[in-house]
Structure 1
Amino acid sequence: MFRKELHRFLLTAQLADPAQFQSSMFSQSVTGPNNEADYETWRSNVGLLLKDTRQSDLHKSQKVLESLLSPAIDIVKHLTPETPPSVYLEILDSAFSTVEDGDDLFAKYLNTMQDSGEKPSAYLQRLQVMLNATLRRGGVSASEFDRQLLRQFVRGCWDNTLISELQLEQKKQNPPTFAELLLLLRTAEDRRASKASRMKHHLSASKPKVSSHYQGICAQYGEECITLQSPPDSSEIQDLKRQIADLQTQLTRVTQKNGGKNQSKPEAKPKAPTPAIPKSHPPTPHSQPERNTTSKRPKPWYCFRCGEDGHIKPQCDSEPNPSLVATKGRLLKEKQQAWDAVNSTSEPEHF
């Protein structure tokens, strides 16, 4: 009999007010739905229901039962429909409400800041739920509720533009209620979203030169912006790649040239002592060719990958040719041995 009356009452209530408690279910189940509210959020919504003097206690008790799911509803199954809603809440508070005292809850409340990506209105609602729990535990007085709520919102909200726009700093002495402040925030958020949407629609067809200004505006309002800058031209990319390849080739040649100069010279026979040259006379010109003989030694000006001339292995895109590389290496070695034999046995002329 009780279930039939309850079912009929729930249908009537949903037709009269379909949004009431449909988005605020509570079960305390580990595997509950993702959109299920935590106990403090559910308790805050029930508190608003209990303050409504136009509804009877029976109606309030039925709405409390409607918003409960198993296993939370199992705790109050033994109660009758005529039980006052305050008794329901007393039992549920003893099972699911926080056990921290008011001072600890207030300290935690003061350390609650706006999360990344969280809207200011959602942050305010989260603060209101925490402050309600603190109020029930005696951590804050009812007369200080609105002032503490506005104070922490201004302190923990990172959107300074919104705070200045709504002049919230100037309202600390005469703070608005939670409902008034929430309406202000949601109105400002809706106005910003509408403006950002209009900017996207207008600037998406604009020239690329306004893209930097558009991106700066969207960053201020925290909205996603479309990219209006055109991608780099493919010819520019190819030109940059060619320049990098040329620089790498030049660097390799300089490195090889310096390496050849630093090679040890062949051991020469002892020279006869030469007479001292006066400091006023410049050195004889025959000494210059002797210093440059090692630079004429044959070097491997071919690719170690394909064996072709004109490039080096890091810039080679051809197929490997080990036989050609080995042949050129053998010829180079023979030329170097012949050059070493000639230059190591030649006697420099003495004057």
Structure 2
Amino acid sequence: MANMSGLLGPGSAASSSEAATSADWTKALGQTLEKVVLSHTASNSCRKLRLFAGEEEFELWLEHTTEMLQEWAVPDAEKRRCLIESLGGPALDVIRTLKLIDPGVSVKDCLEALEHNFGSVEGPEDSYCKFLNSRQQKVEKASAYIQRLERLLQRAVMRGAVTAEQMDRTRLAQIVRGTQYQNPILLHLQLRE
């Protein structure tokens, strides 16, 4: 009851042991709340990952998943758990085998294993050629073409055909080369080059 009197009335003074207990309790409560919030954030984020079982379009799934995993401010172990929850069928079997070899396998290694098994077999030269040969279609908006071009450029960078330092210059050159000149701004860009 003595502990309660300190909490109930402003006139009663708490002893130093009661203050220390209160500080410990506050610290423990803060740590617990942090874990709950982190867990809730991670579980909500996990729901945003698309399911991949091996039959779906791998490149689109990989692009989406990589982007989502980079945005999350959670530990690598939590990202790996969410990644594994988003897998099924043969894709899950690949990661299970990988985890048998190394239980602490990183998310990066998991994604590389999935890409090795389900990704396209094109090499750096093939991906760079696809990028260079892309052209805006007659009915395609310039913004849609640039988005499509960006995916091709990202693939070329992932395969090692283009370095990160070359991306901006390479992107601009291909936009100028591959865009239908219905837009005077793009024509101006080509003339400036």
Where on the TM-score scale, by shorter chain, does this alignment land: which range? 0.5 to 0.7
Shift of 1:153: 2.3
**Cα RMSD after superposing both structures:** 3.5
1:46-85, aligned counterparts within 5 Å?
46-52=65-71, 54-78=73-97, 79=99, 82-85=104-107
Secondary structure, aligned partner of 1:44: helix
Contact residue 40 and residue 130 of structure 1 kept, 8 A: no
Shift of 1:17: 7.8
Secondary structure, aligned partner of 2:84: helix
Contact residue 39 and residue 96 of structure 1 kept, 8 A: yes
C-alpha distance in structure 1 between counterparts of 2:39 and 2:135, whole Å:
39
Secondary structure, aligned partner of 2:89: coil
Contact residue 49 and residue 68 of structure 2 kept, 8 A: no
Q: Which residue of 2 aligns with 1:132?
A: 154
Contact residue 124 and residue 159 of structure 2 kept, 8 A: yes
Q: Which residue of 2 aligns with 1:26?
A: 52
C-alpha distance in structure 2 between counterparts of 1:124 and 1:103, whole Å:
21
Contact residue 134 and residue 140 of structure 1 kept, 8 A: yes
Secondary structure, aligned partner of 1:61: helix
- Matched residue type, 1:164: I
Contact residue 49 and residue 60 of structure 1 kept, 8 A: no
C-alpha distance in structure 2 between counterparts of 1:45 and 1:72, whole Å:
16
C-alpha distance in structure 2 between counterparts of 1:53 and 1:111, whole Å:
35
Q: Which residue of 1 aligns with 2:134?
A: 112
Return the TM-score normalized by structure 1: 0.36
Shift of 1:140: 0.9
C-alpha distance in structure 2 between counterparts of 1:110 and 1:55, whole Å:
37
- Matched residue type, 1:21: L
Q: Equivalent of 2:163, from 119, 138, 141? A: 141
Contact residue 135 and residue 179 of structure 2 kept, 8 A: yes
Shift of 1:14: 5.5
Q: Equivalent of 1:151, from 147, 167, 173? A: 173
- Matched residue type, 1:45: H
C-alpha distance in structure 2 between counterparts of 1:55 and 1:167, whole Å:
45
Shift of 1:110: 0.6
Would the alpha carbon gap of residues 76 and 115 (structure 1) be closer, same or farther in structure 2, given more than 3 Å must change?
farther
Contact residue 41 and residue 129 of structure 1 kept, 8 A: no
Larger radius of gyration: 1
Which structure has more relative contact order (CA 8 Å, sep 6+)? It is 2
Q: Equivalent of 1:164, from 185, 188, 193? A: 185
C-alpha distance in structure 1 between counterparts of 2:138 and 2:86, whole Å:
30
- Matched residue type, 2:109: V
1:282-297, aligned counterparts within 5 Å?
none
C-alpha distance in structure 2 between counterparts of 1:14 and 1:158, whole Å:
44
Q: Which residue of 2 aligns with 1:95?
A: 117
Q: Which residue of 2 aligns with 1:15?
A: 44
Secondary structure, aligned partner of 1:160: coil
Shift of 1:101: 2.2
Q: Which residue of 2 aligns with 1:123?
A: 145
Gaps of 5+ in 2: 1-37
Q: Which residue of 1 aligns with 2:22?
A: none
Q: Deviations over 1:85-135 (max 9, x none)?
A: 012012112112232221222112111122354333332222222222211
Shift of 1:27: 3.4
Aligned residues: 153
- Matched residue type, 1:89: L
Return the TM-score normalized by structure 2: 0.61
Q: Deviations over 1:256-285 (max 9, x none)?
A: xxxxxxxxxxxxxxxxxxxxxxxxxxxxxx
Gaps of 5+ in 1: 1-8, 33-37, 173-351
Q: Which residue of 2 aligns with 1:39?
A: 58
